[in-house]
Chains A and B, each alone.
Chain A
Amino acid sequence: EAQVTQNPRYLITVTGKKLTVTCSQNMNHEYMSWYRQDPGLGLRQIYYSMNVEVTDKGDVPEGYKVSRKEKRNFPLILESPSPNQTSLYFCASSFVQGTEAFFGQGTRLTVV
């Protein structure tokens, strides 16, 4: 089944404790992206990647890192999480620009 898989689905952590949210797609998509969704602010892009080893900042990249060492994986790294990073995170992928994007089920992160 074609899908984007994120892990974990839910995470509660403490301020400053490094964490990684994994994202994997099995559709051989070139493009991948991370978004965060907050009430009243909609979906905002954090980082995106056009291909392996090619990543770029989205609209709200501060406090986040990403890597794209393999085509299928695009992990989101929070080196020192803070409470303002409490949010619902989505990973997405698409074959090329101008085509349907597939979304993961989301990761609900709470930083206390």
Chain B
Amino acid sequence: SQELEQSPQSLIVQEGKNLTINCTSSKTLYGLYWYKQKYGEGLIFLMMLQKGGEEKSHEKITAKLDEKKQQSSLHITASQPSHAGIYLCGADKNAGNMLTFGGGTRLMVKP
């Protein structure tokens, strides 16, 4: 089955700083999804990447999928307290199934 490893597991940054979260797969990724979760709440979809080398941005968040389609990164520029939460990467599982997820990265932004 698809194994997704996220790093770091947790991150504390000062407001205004940039940060990067990584997601690495043991297999080629055919669909890579980034979600954000506020503590104890549901997951909010951020972005989906499908092609090698693809990059997408939304506001101050940029996600990239490497050419080999086995690693993705999520970059936040000029972090704000509103960026705090848990970031999860997900990937399409076996045919006919839904997503499998990495362990998550817990982000705290200090004002």
Which residues on A are within 8 Å of B, measured CB to CB? 4, 31-33, 35, 40-43, 45, 48, 50, 56, 58-59, 88, 90, 92, 94, 97-98, 100-106, 108
Could you tell me if A101 and B45 are in contact, using CB atoms closer than 8 angstroms?
A: yes
Q: Give complex CA distance A12, B76 in Å.
A: 38
A-B complex: 9 closest residue pairs judged by Cβ atoms: A42-B103, A43-B101, A33-B98, A103-B43, A103-B42, A105-B42, A100-B45, A50-B96, A98-B31
Q: Give complex CA distance A100, B92 in Å.
A: 10
Could you tell me if A59 and B98 are in contact, using CB atoms closer than 8 angstroms?
A: no
Please pick, from B48, B97, B101, the residue contacting A48 in the complex, using a CB distance under 8 A.
B97
Could you tell me if B43 and A100 are in contact, using CB atoms closer than 8 angstroms?
A: no
Closest to A4 in B: B42
Could you tell me if B41 and A106 are in contact, using CB atoms closer than 8 angstroms?
A: yes
- Sorting the interface of chain B by its residue count into under 10, 10 to 19, 20 to 34 or 35 or more gives 20 to 34
Q: Give complex CA distance A35, B101 in Å.
A: 10
User: What sequence of 0s and 1s flags, for each residue 74-111 of chain B, a beta carbon within 8 Å of any chain A beta carbon?
Assistant: 00000000000000101011011111111110000000
Known: A42-B104, A43-B88. A101 touches B99 (CB 8 A): yes
Could you tell me if B43 and A90 are in contact, using CB atoms closer than 8 angstroms?
A: yes
Known: A42-B104, A106-B40. A97 touches B97 (CB 8 A): yes
B41 CB, min distance to chain A CBs, angstroms: 6
Could you tell me if B41 and A42 are in contact, using CB atoms closer than 8 angstroms?
A: no
Known: A103-B42, A106-B42. A45 touches B98 (CB 8 A): yes
A-B contacts, 22 of them at CB < 8 A, read: A4-B42, A32-B98, A33-B99, A42-B88, A42-B102, A42-B103, A43-B88, A50-B97, A92-B43, A94-B98, A97-B92, A97-B96, A97-B97, A98-B30, A98-B31, A98-B92, A100-B48, A101-B90, A101-B98, A101-B99, A103-B43, A108-B40
